Amino acid sequence: MKMVNWLRNNRYAAGLLVLVRLYLGWKWLDAGWHKLTADKAFDASGFLTNAVNKPVLETGTKNALYPHYVDFLQHIALPNVKLFNFLIPWGETLVGLGLILGALTTAAAFFGVLMNFMFLLAGTVSSNPWLLLFGAIVLFAGANAGKFGSDYYLLPLLKRAVAKGFRRNRTHNRPVDPNGLPHTN
């Protein structure tokens, strides 16, 4: 708990998190950018088909370890592969930009961690555990991870905009006493 508190509140932690963000952001940006700018359009159908045909198995059995995830891939991802061909490279690129710029850092880290879990559930190890570890650190740090980034300016603006949106058009029917005066507690 002490470590998480340090990550969330300490200025030195915020400085170290810049280095973690830059490394992690570069990895995501590089992965997404290569998919977006390749000579051949990115196509996840081979990866998805392989993940369905050769799922992660329970040790010593032929039972899928994550059968619901395999069902998701088979019945949702594969039939909508064009959508996933768009989401994966753009998601990786935007996660990378968010982390590098420190803009919506916690959201970028969350979606990076989510993508890492999806890749791991499909059976791909590569650099995913490493990226997952760094992503979790940034996620645990919360707003402090973007303190030395665009979040320093962006988060207060968003908080004010959200607060203003919740204040707008709020009418409360206050209880009225029989004399017609508003009831006070």
Rounded to two decimals, what is the model's pTM?
A: 0.83
Where are the chain's structural domains?
2-16+23-166
* Band of residue 176 on the pLDDT scale cut at 50, 70, 90: low
Count of C-beta atoms within a 10 Å radius of residue 81? 16
pLDDT digits (tens, 9 = 90+) for 139-149: 999 999 999 99
| Residue 13 confidence (pLDDT) | 95
CA distances from 162 to 104, 125, 133, 154, 165 (A): 15, 39, 31, 12, 5
**Ramachandran bin of 121, using left for φ above 0, alpha for ψ from -120 to 50, beta for the remaining angles:** alpha
pLDDT digits (tens, 9 = 90+) for 82-98: 999 999 999 999 999 99
| Residue 1 confidence (pLDDT) | 80
Say how far apart CA 7 and CA 133 lie, in whole Å: 14
**Does 70 score more than 80 pLDDT?**
yes
CA distances from 57 to 17, 71, 170 (A): 36, 14, 54
Say how far apart CA 137 and CA 64 lie, in whole Å: 30
What percentage of the chain exceeds 70 in pLDDT? Answer: 90
Mean pLDDT value across residues 151-161: 93
